[in-house]
């Protein structure tokens, strides 16, 4: 009797084990799918090269590629460099899709140029080193919502721009209102704004210090 029951249960146990294995495999497949979904989609980058002897300020050419990161783009740009253009000039992240580009640029020995999201390796013309910022001031007593004025200046980052805006402030406009990046936000703008005591307003790419109208 016991042997009969054992013979009857064995196929059921084998079936359960097989189902269990299939279930585990299904879970693993789901995890694999989830990992694949979090991987970044390829985005456009521009690789810049030049004829030798011009320090990348003349005789330039470029190719368009797609890559999942600045690190991958730099490697791909090197691999696809035309023999006729031996100087390696820059790699531009055309969508500035991630804050990692700046870090990965530095790790590759490049100089990050926030004005056009460019990792510069040689030359000064293709990737300007400075962004343009607007410093906003106002007459006292208006809380920066009236009686405003502004000046434009160039700076390599938000921290430098805020400091320069303070030193450039006209005596006739004593209220310090905002510092606005007139190009596009760089990955470090929000954190540098906060470190200076400002409130980051992404819609207007603006570090706000007082008022509500200049930087919505």
Least confident stretch, 33-37, 55-59, 62-66, 137-141: 33-37
Structural domain boundaries enclosing 69:
43-120
pLDDT level of residue 187 (50, 70, 90 thresholds): confident
Helix (H) or strand (E) holding 48: strand 43-50
What average pLDDT does range 163-188 have in this prediction? 91
Residue 205 in this model has a pLDDT that exceeds 50: yes
Could you give the number of structural domains in the chain?
2
Q: Is 12 exposed, middle or buried (0-12, 13-18, 19+ CB in 10 A)?
A: exposed
pLDDT level of residue 183 (50, 70, 90 thresholds): confident
Position 27 in a domain: no
Give pLDDT, residue 57. Answer: 85
The answer to whether residues 154 and 192 belong to one domain is yes
> Which of left, alpha, beta for 211 (phi over 0: left; psi -120 to 50: alpha)?
left
Domain endpoint, select from 73, 92, 120: 120
Position 68 in a domain: yes
Domain endpoint, select from 87, 120, 153: 120
């Amino acid at each position: 009797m016991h042997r009969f029951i054992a013979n009857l249960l064995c196929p059921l146990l084998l079936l359960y084990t097989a189902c269990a294995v299939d279930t585990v495999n299904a879970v693993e497949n789901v995890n694999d799918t989830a990992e694949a979904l979090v991987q970044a989609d390829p985005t456009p980058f521009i690789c810049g090269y030049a004829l030798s002897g011009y320090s990348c300020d003349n005789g330039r050419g470029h190719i368009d590629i797609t890559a999942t990161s600045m690190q991958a783009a730099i490697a791909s740009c090197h691999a696809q460099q035309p023999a006729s253009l031996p100087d390696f000039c820059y790699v531009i992240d055309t969508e500035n899709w991630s804050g990692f580009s700046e870090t990965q640029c530095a790790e590759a020995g490049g100089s990050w140029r926030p004005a056009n999201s460019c990792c510069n390796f040689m030359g000064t013309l293709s990737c300007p080193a400075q962004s343009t910022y607007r410093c906003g001031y106002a007459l006292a007593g208006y809380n920066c919502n009236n009686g405003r004025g502004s000046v434009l200046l160039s700076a390599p980052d938000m921290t430098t721009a805020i400091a320069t805006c303070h030193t450039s402030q006209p005596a006739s406009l004593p209220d310090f209102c905002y510092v606005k990046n007139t190009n596009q936000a760089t990955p470090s703008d929000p954190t540098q704004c906060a470190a200076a005591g400002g409130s980051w307003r992404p819609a207007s790419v603006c570090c706000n210090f007082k008022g509500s109208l200049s930087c919505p």
